[in-house]
Amino acid sequence: MWKPDREADKPIYRQIVEQIERRIALGELPPGSALPSERKLAEQLGVNRSTIVQAYEELRASGLIESRTGSGTRVCRNKWGLVPRSAPNWNAYVEGGTFLPNLPFLRRIRDSIRSGEPFVNFASGELAADLSPNDVIRRLMAEQPFQEPLGYGDPAGYAPLRAAIASFLQERRGMVATDESILVTSGSQQSLYLIAQCLLSPGDAIAVENPSYGYSLPMFQSAGLRLFGLPQDERGVKPDDIEALYRRHRIRMVFLNPNYQNPTGIVLDPSRRLELLACCERLGIPIVEDDPFGLTSIDGYPPPPLKALDRNGTVLYVGSLSKIAASGFRIGWMVAPHSVVRRLADARQQMDFGLSVFPQWIAAHFLNSRELEYHLARLRDSLRLRRNLLAEALRDELADEIGFDLPAGGLNLWCSVNEPVHDYALLENGIKNGVLFVPGSVYGSDSGFVRFTYAKPAVEEIGPGVRKFAAALRQTRAGR
Amino acid sequence: MWKPDREADKPIYRQIVEQIERRIALGELPPGSALPSERKLAEQLGVNRSTIVQAYEELRASGLIESRTGSGTRVCRNKWGLVPRSAPNWNAYVEGGTFLPNLPFLRRIRDSIRSGEPFVNFASGELAADLSPNDVIRRLMAEQPFQEPLGYGDPAGYAPLRAAIASFLQERRGMVATDESILVTSGSQQSLYLIAQCLLSPGDAIAVENPSYGYSLPMFQSAGLRLFGLPQDERGVKPDDIEALYRRHRIRMVFLNPNYQNPTGIVLDPSRRLELLACCERLGIPIVEDDPFGLTSIDGYPPPPLKALDRNGTVLYVGSLSKIAASGFRIGWMVAPHSVVRRLADARQQMDFGLSVFPQWIAAHFLNSRELEYHLARLRDSLRLRRNLLAEALRDELADEIGFDLPAGGLNLWCSVNEPVHDYALLENGIKNGVLFVPGSVYGSDSGFVRFTYAKPAVEEIGPGVRKFAAALRQTRAGR
């Protein structure tokens, strides 16, 4: 075991500080882990207690550890995000402190999934294995001879894929996007990360829909951004609220998810789209339009994207293959002014030297294949079936206890609980009953909401899963 | 054209500041681009010149623009790294200011390559297309049925690939690495980025070999790290120098590239490896061992990696397929204590949600294939041929004007110029003559050194490329 060196020039308390810093940095003391009491550590190391008091004080001052009456001294939880200590506004990232307490929910859900126990998974926002085009991809890989250069490619992405994405967006989303305006990314997460890190600064205020996945992204915290919520009615967010936020908080960017919004399923009204665009143009605030679900429509089709209406380069459009093909693809795209594409591509070089040619090559073939049409039609049919099964089961089991609007597309059903219960207790009872879902407060809403993803569980699991949820809800009501 | 709003509450100078900030943020005004003179902008916007003076002053104060007598006002060049404004020690990242002036060289080289003109490329540190195992990969993709799940995978990497890397490292590098100790990354760049962002803080001091690729990585700047150089003799760096740097600057990590070091080609002596490890263990400083070239030996084999000698988890070992198979793979690995693997994997989730399954699947098959042995042998033979051709041509053309040691492996030959010329002039003359190489000062050395990569140009280009270089050197001597 490590002991301080009494012969060294360095004071003993300082040696102890550095030893603990090292153990934290190497992950031996993960966030939240308990440190020994001052008395006990003094004994272990054979030093005076006052030396430990001094060492802990210094570690507390640098924000690495925290002490609370009753629970002792622990490694701080918020020190392990990306770039945590470099963001000067680290503690200023969320309005009203509704953010941090939610993250433990996501950790709890993830740990449950990793445990390998057989949960009905209404929590993971991704497609079930049988909804992904595995056959098409297997055939593409077997039949198309791979003959691409294997050197470092264009930092903005593999040229044939940029071209395929441009035609895909033109044909299916009515957008005029040139190859040069497309940055290939590893998915929406990387697109948003690049925007947050390169176009915004710590302390900047941004507007997001409320509720919204924005509240669940530690990435926004790590970038030190301050999130302000835009209320939504059944037609989406309102331009006036953006204007008001701009006046009060100088918001620097607006993040919108206009089609089958995550988690509410709301579709932003066509006339509101025009008004929002005009408003943001006037204020000079860029809009990030995140559109993962535009092609997962179930009933009818969504209106044209804001980017299709954008004449002034106000909109950065973000999309991906994750929700329409497979999340394991790790292929996404951003449509942006050429100068932004180049800047973000150069910045990404520092992170990963760009993307592998293999998924880009497969994605280009997939987007150009005749089977894409059939895949998307089959996906929509299958999502309709799952959504209907979920809605029926919820009505059957919990008619008087919950409420929801049927989503017209996307992967999620947003459900309100008539007499709200405590989110944490509900989730714990769900886990006990073998069902996973995401409590609404993860998305910044009040308690009493739940997001169900119907794309992930198997068709035959949906009914039983809802019954497990109903049991969990009743147990929670009964105070168990 | 944009005009300030005279009715607004906001002062006009402030509106102008924000408009220019926006244009910079959107990339319309890229780094280095010129702004109009104060007089001219005042005319364009129809405001008093003093208003523009005030606006420019504020932009200068925030570090976004800079003005110099003679060259007017320009957007700062150092504002576009990743996370630039979040790093509080942005200006403190390099000792003695030798860093920033070099970056323009790399930009100049990259732009020349992008121009599409036919250069003999001794600059890009990657393998020529005919050295990559394209045939093997094409066959793997055609013959192995792809049947993997396409969901979000384990954030630490695709399990069969982690297993393949563990056996690969055990068999070929003598390392005992368990699957759990391996983090799959998209290459050494991502490994180093994760280390710099998650295990170090802005202002931290690190030690790197001098000269070293460390000086050429904007990634280290962006993380706000202070670089201190370790001198090298023909046996590599010396433990005493690490100890001295620790006492003077409290260095928190040591980055070493012990095999065929980039750019010098030096192999760190076996006994020095043991001493360095003991020294860093005693001081409690982690070593990052970057080993891209360990399997590109030409004459003999390098000693065992430090990681193979590490008994206390002091070493983070970083490797990749880039220099032994193809840089377009974007597959690399880190071997680290399990807790570090988990932390960095979780942090990466924020950046990109992990890696695509496709390159991981191909890499696993490639590492397990019987053709790997043959590929590596062929690669070594081909590198030997290219190195010898380069060395002969340099001796033939410039015997009395340059000096070099024959590298025993790797991709680079490090060459000193007997009567040093100005790096910038030499590079420009090289470009005029149609040859690219990297001036040594990019790696932090004095002027009068050049790095030639012999792996990238075609075999038949090597002789003519050296003749072009000789011409450029003579022109530079002649003051042209």
Q: Is B419 exposed, middle or buried (0-12, 13-18, 19+ CB in 10 A)?
A: exposed
Beta carbons of B127 and A88 less than 8 Å apart: no
Per DSSP bridges, beta strands A435-436 and A412-417 are unpaired
pLDDT tens digits for range A346-362:
888 878 888 999 999 99
Residue of B nearest to A20 (CA): B284
Residue A474 near residue A449 (C-beta atoms within 8 A): no
Of the candidate ranges A212-221, B277-286, B354-363, the one whose mean pLDDT is the lowest? A212-221
* Closest partner CB to B81 (pick from A143, A150, A350): A350
CB-hemisphere CA count at 13 Å for A12?
16
Q: Assess A4–B contact: CB distance below 8 Å, yes or no.
A: no
pLDDT of residue B28: 67
Residue of B nearest to A152 (CA): B328
DSSP A266: -
> Among positive and negative, which fits the CA dihedral A96, A100, A106, A112?
negative
Residue of B nearest to A359 (CA): B358
pLDDT of residue A372: 96
* Closest partner CB to B340 (pick from A27, A340, A355): A27
> What average pLDDT does range B339-368 have in this prediction?
89
Measured distance between the N- and C-terminal CA atoms of chain B, rounded to whole angstroms: 45
pLDDT at A99 over 60: no
> Distances in Å between the alpha carbon of B394 and those of B342, B399, B479?
48, 7, 22
Beta carbons of A187 and B352 less than 8 Å apart: yes
pLDDT at B215 over 60: yes
**What one-character-per-residue DSSP string does B22-81 give?**
HHHHTTSS-TTPBPPPHHHHHHHHT--HHHHHHHHHHHHHTTSEEEETTTEEEE-GGG-S
* Closest partner CB to A146 (pick from B22, B28, B137): B137
pLDDT tens digits for range A289-327:
999 999 999 999 999 999 999 887 889 999 999 999 999
Report the alpha-carbon distance of residue B389 to residue A150 in Å, rounded. 24
Beta carbons of B328 and A129 less than 8 Å apart: no
pLDDT tens digits for range B163-206:
999 999 999 999 888 888 999 999 999 999 888 888 887 778 89
For residue A213, give the nearest of A455, A448, A447, A440 by alpha carbon.
A440
pLDDT tens digits for range A119-144:
999 999 999 999 999 999 999 999 98
- Give rounded-to-5 percent helix, strand, coil for chain A: 50, 15, 35
Max mean pLDDT among A77-86, B81-90, B146-155 falls in: B146-155
Q: Token digits for A472?
A: 């969990």
* Closest partner CB to B145 (pick from A142, A202, A349): A142
Mutating which of A356, A362, A379 best tests the B interface, going by the most B Cβ atoms within 10 A? A356
For residue A262, give the nearest of A418, A41, A440 by alpha carbon.
A440
State the CB neighbour count (10 A cutoff) for residue A8. Answer: 10
Q: Token digits for A73?
A: 């001294």
Residue B179 near residue B160 (C-beta atoms within 8 A): no
pLDDT at A63 over 90: no
pLDDT tens digits for range A388-436:
999 999 999 999 999 999 999 999 999 999 988 888 899 999 999 999 9
The CATH number for A12-96, chosen from 1.10.10.10, 3.40.1440.60, 3.40.50.920, 3.40.50.300, is 1.10.10.10
Beta carbons of A30 and B127 less than 8 Å apart: no
User: Residue B118, SS3?
Assistant: coil
pLDDT of residue B86: 26
Say if B104-125+374-479 and B133-370 have the same CATH topology.
no
Of the candidate ranges A68-72, A384-388, B130-134, B259-263, the one whose mean pLDDT is the lowest? A68-72
Max mean pLDDT among A200-209, A423-432, A465-474, B245-254 falls in: A465-474
pLDDT of residue B422: 86
pLDDT tens digits for range B91-130:
222 222 222 334 678 878 888 888 888 999 999 999 999 9
> What average pLDDT does range B255-275 have in this prediction?
97
Interface A–B counts its CB contacts (< 8 A) at: 251
Class of domain B104-125+374-479: alpha beta
Can you say how many angstroms the Cα of residue B318 is from the centroid of all Cα atoms in its chain?
13
State the CB neighbour count (10 A cutoff) for residue B113. Answer: 14
Q: What residues of B are in contact with residue A141 (Cβ under 8 Å)?
A: 141-142, 146
Class of domain B133-370: alpha beta
Report the alpha-carbon distance of residue A340 to residue B1 in Å, rounded. 20
For residue A227, give the nearest of A235, A238, A219, A237 by alpha carbon.
A219
For residue A403, give the nearest of A101, A413, A337 by alpha carbon.
A413
Beta carbons of A358 and B329 less than 8 Å apart: yes
Residues 6+ apart with CB under 8 A from B175: B169, B304, B305, B307, B308, B317, B335
For residues B153 and A432, the model is more confident at A432
Report the alpha-carbon distance of residue B228 to residue B209 in Å, rounded. 8
> What average pLDDT does range A35-39 have in this prediction?
90
Of the candidate ranges A30-44, A295-309, B325-339, the one whose mean pLDDT is the lowest? A30-44
Report the alpha-carbon distance of residue B103 to residue A384 in Å, rounded. 54
Q: What residues of B are in contact with residue A201 (Cβ under 8 Å)?
A: 85-86
pLDDT at A95 over 50: no
pLDDT at A272 over 60: yes
pLDDT at B360 over 80: yes
**Interface subset of B 146-175, CB within 8 angstroms of A:** 146-153
Residue B267 near residue B302 (C-beta atoms within 8 A): yes
pLDDT of residue A25: 59
Mutating which of B324, B353, B379 best tests the A interface, going by the most A Cβ atoms within 10 A? B353
* Closest partner CB to B339 (pick from A26, A218, A346): A26
Q: In what order do the strands lie in the sheet with B205-210?
A: B182-185, B332-335, B315-320, B287-290, B253-256, B205-210, B226-231
User: Residue B323, SS3?
Assistant: coil
For residues A183 and B100, the model is more confident at A183
Residue of B nearest to A336 (CA): B26
> Among positive and negative, which fits the CA dihedral B52, B55, B56, B57?
positive
Beta carbons of A134 and B124 less than 8 Å apart: no
Q: Assess A138–B contact: CB distance below 8 Å, yes or no.
A: yes
Q: With cut-offs at 50, 70 and 90, classify the pLDDT of residue A88.
A: very low
* Closest partner CB to A152 (pick from B149, B327, B362): B327
Q: With cut-offs at 50, 70 and 90, classify the pLDDT of residue A198.
A: confident
pLDDT at A78 over 60: no
Beta carbons of A80 and B198 less than 8 Å apart: yes
pLDDT at A65 over 90: no
> Among positive and negative, which fits the CA dihedral B109, B112, B116, B120?
negative
Q: Token digits for A69?
A: 């009456």
Q: Which amino acid is it at A260?
A: Y
Kindly report the backbone phi and psi dihedral angles of residue A356, in degrees, each rounded to the nearest multiple of 5, phi listed first.
-65, 145
> What average pLDDT does range B361-367 have in this prediction?
97
Beta carbons of A124 and B329 less than 8 Å apart: no
pLDDT of residue B199: 83
Q: What residues of A are in contact with residue B359 (Cβ under 8 Å)?
A: 356, 358-359
Domain map of chain A by residue range? 12-96, 104-125+374-479, 133-370
Q: With cut-offs at 50, 70 and 90, classify the pLDDT of residue B462.
A: very high
Report the alpha-carbon distance of residue B18 to residue A434 in Å, rounded. 53
User: Residue B258, SS3?
Assistant: coil
**What one-character-per-residue DSSP string does A183-230 give?**
EEESSHHHHHHHHHHHT--TT-EEEEEES-GGGG-HHHHHTTPEEEEE
pLDDT of residue A281: 87
Measured distance between the N- and C-terminal CA atoms of chain A, rounded to whole angstroms: 45
Beta carbons of A83 and B83 less than 8 Å apart: yes
Q: Assess B352–A contact: CB distance below 8 Å, yes or no.
A: yes
Task: State the Cα angle at B419 between B404 and B472, rounded to 5°.
Answer: 85
Residue B287 near residue B309 (C-beta atoms within 8 A): no
Residue A160, preceding bond cis, omega within 30 degrees?
no
Q: What residues of B are in contact with residue A131 (Cβ under 8 Å)?
A: none
Q: Token digits for A115?
A: 């445990």
